[in-house]
Homo-oligomer: A and B are copies of this chain.
Amino acid sequence: VAAELLVVGAGLIGTSLGMALGGRDVLLADPDAGALEVAVGRGAGRVWDRAQPFAHCVVATPPATVAGVVAELALAFPAATFSHVCSVQRSVQADLAERGIDLSRVCGSHPMAGKEQSGPGAASARLFAGRPWVLCPSPQTGPAALEATRRVAELCGAEAVELTAEEHDAAVALVSHLPQVAASAVGAVLSQSTEQGTRLAGPGLQDTTRIAASDPAMWIEVLRQNAQAVAPLVRALSTELGVAADALDRLAAQPDDTAALRAVDGLLRRGNAGRRLVPRKRGEHDRDFVLVAVAVPDRPGQLAGVLVSAAEAGVNVEDVRVEHLPGRPTGVIELLVHPSAQAEARRALAAAGWDVVGA
């Protein structure tokens, strides 16, 4: 009898996927016996004997290996459908087409989750909960493969979003690959400095460079595979900055150069406009929130105390930022709340004895 699902690749994504489908009949395969053992131990499924048939197979292996795995299994199991979970779609679609596989049986997909860690030990049944999971059928993908892929996404608690491979690759180039290259480039300029030279850094530099710490080995593969979509965006960014550098050079010589001022002003204003397009969650944006800041001693439990006071007052804290102060046992906690809750949050926190900044 055919199992419901075969997962090939017991890494972070494959193991999490098996765990999320807990209770269903999931088969697992991985050439790394150690990884496979960890995945089975975590409840991701049972070891595949390479003979039992399966209705659908998710190939969760490195992108360069996906087409080979699908080609082999599609031949041996002619009734099965296939999907993969690659972060870039067009290159994998091209690899599959070159293999002469029946493309009606294959659907691409990309769960938007799980970047900072790797391996089955970091897997979680909740990894995909509420995340977008992009389905990328090719023009040849048949309804059975598409629906099986959608069902996996939904069983994992993800939100299925259907895009073409081209649309997907363009979208991730803009919202993921461009900011990675930008953060890395700011980091590269900073790397010419020293710890002494950056000691005045505040939260602006912190945030702007956070993802510059990403793993180069993973990112070079992503950027290589999506080079066609990323290159023009990086070029546009370079051009924006070249124009800004020209304008700043002119302002250094002549602080009232009107055209140069207009160029810098335009950059800042278009920056505002672009930022307004970045969703915070569920279509909400920065403009939908306001800050309430509280100064606290930098001791364990202060953050918890502030949040308990907010919770007791019925204030929903959408986000929180902790700003530590160098060289001093004190800090500022910034709570992000809906504008309708701001006055009550300030009142309740002050009444609870907290030092509300600007109160």
Contact = CB atoms under 8 A, between A and B. Distances in A.
Interface of A: 91, 112, 115-117, 121-124, 126-127, 129-132, 134, 157, 159, 161, 171-172, 174-176, 178-195, 197-202, 204-214, 216, 219-220, 223-225, 227-228, 230-242, 244-245, 248-249, 251-252, 255, 261, 264-265, 267-283, 286, 291, 295, 299-301, 303-305, 307-308, 310-311, 314-320, 322, 324-332, 355, 357-359
A201 B278 contact: yes
A324 to B, nearest CB: 4
Given A190-B275, A328-B157, A355 B126 contact: yes
B268 A214 contact: yes
Nearest to A234: B245
Contacts of A325: 129-131, 281
B134 A200 contact: yes
Q: Which DSSP category, helix, strand, loop or mixed, fits chain A's interface?
A: helix
This chain's copy number in the assembly? 2
Contacts of A223: 248, 251, 264
Contacts of A132: 199-200, 326-327
Nearest to A266: B188
Nearest to A294: B126
A130 B278 contact: no
A193 B334 CA distance: 30
A69 to B, nearest CB: 20
A100 to B, nearest CB: 21
Contact of A241 (B216, B234, B279, B317): B234
Nearest to A127: B357
B171 A200 contact: yes
A127 B129 CA distance: 40
Nearest to A91: B255
A26 to B, nearest CB: 19
Contacts of A121: 358
17 contacts: A126-B357, A130-B326, A132-B326, A178-B189, A194-B277, A209-B275, A212-B271, A220-B261, A220-B268, A234-B241, A234-B248, A235-B245, A238-B239, A238-B245, A281-B325, A304-B310, A307-B307
Given A176-B202, A241-B182, A304-B307, A326 B281 contact: yes
Given A295-B124, A307-B303, A224 B251 contact: yes
